[in-house]
Amino acid sequence: MKGYIALEDGTIFEGESFGAAGEAVGEVVFNTSMTGYQEILTDPSYSSQIVTMTYPLIGNYGINETDIESSQIQVAGFVVKEACHYPSNFTSKTTLAQYLQDNGIVGVESVDTRALTRHIRTCGALKAVIWAGEEEISPEQLVKKAQKWKGLLGEDLVKTVTCKERYLWEDSESQPKNHQFSIVAMDFGIKFNILRILSKLGCKITVVPAHTTAEEIMALQPDGVFLSNGPGDPAPITYAIDTIRELIGTLPIFGICLGHQLLALALGGSTYKLKFGHRGANHPVRHNATGVVEITSQNHGFCVDIESLKSKDIVTSHINLNDNTSEGLDCPDKKLFSVQYHPESSPGPHDSGYLFEKFLKLMEDEKKSTKERKYTAVSDV
């Protein structure tokens, strides 16, 4: 079957279908990772995006039952130079092509992904339509459909990926018998591996929908609040921003990716859309406090405006060394911090693992402080 990627500016890339037949609209972006395609496909942060892999051969170790970040494939479409149809790995259960077909996701291969990536870098992430099928179709019609799509700016994508109701995370492989801390994770499109890591570190995790209020969260009596990753523009997620603003100063808060952006907005900052975003597993980020450079995994199209927070006593903790954009915030007085990248993905492989330990230390200190205040109050009486 033929396949097309039709961009809003009229550019058309032709290839061959290796996924499901059909059509999908989304923002076309590129990811520079050499591996991790299954995690990318199932990452909710990729909702409404057509992902192009820059590495030429994708699918060589197949699809397994564990490398998933959510309950389903989240991308709108998938584009590769060459899809491996005969994978070799002892954990593989099926091929990448079959995985896409079974989940109704359009995939197109035999595309000049170098040319497509250069076009995105030059023109920015563009609205696009990915199509595959046996029938004849006019690519120009697909271009018109791409132009009519409203795009990501100003759209609330979180409501399409957040959980429907509150639940307690349970993972037989990582769940400890005794919990040191109880945390609430606000689900803006949370990745399973974040939950696995926090669970291994001794946290009892209650995952709540993005629209959960501060009052409902405090009623659960958590030791800390985690703000998850998620897709799209943070600005229209006003309900979550209001909740976070109410929580600031009451409990330790740790945010990742979209959670970082929402925290910045709650603190009075602003965000903006990047030209083509940061997506890959090799982005260098400097930790300003130590000068150490971490190799990070990233997936975002929006960014915090550093200047918007300079007058608010917020420390810029991390900087992207490719373009000097914000990669982290720290405010010890308010017991909060956040990073733009994904420390749970471990491309370094464990350069950023200290961030989870930092969250635990904040909760431990807060527990001690609470006990001391109670002891002082009793002594005064």
Active site residues: 257, 342, 344
Query: Under DSSP, is residue 95 helix (H, G, I), strand (E, B) or coil?
Result: coil
Per the structure block, which two tokens stand in for 120?
């995105």
Inter-residue long-range contacts of 354-357, CB under 8 Å, 24+ positions, other chains counted: 355/254, 356/197, 356/198, 356/201, 357/201
The rounded distance, in Å, linking the Cα atoms of 171 and 66 is 12
Give the integer Cα–Cα distance in Å for 197 and 269: 29
220: tokens are 């659960």
Residue type, 10: G
**DSSP calls for 1-31:** -EEEEEETTS-EEEEEE-S-SEEEEEEEEEE
What's CA 159's distance to the chain center, in Å?
Answer: 15
Concatenated DSSP letters of 237-265: -HHHHHHHHHHTTTS-EEEETHHHHHHHH
Distance (Å, whole) CA 146 – CA 257: 27
Q: Work out whether the CA dihedral 160, 165, 169, 172 comes out positive or negative.
A: negative
Residue with tokens 């990716």: 257
Beta bridge partner(s), residue 295: 284
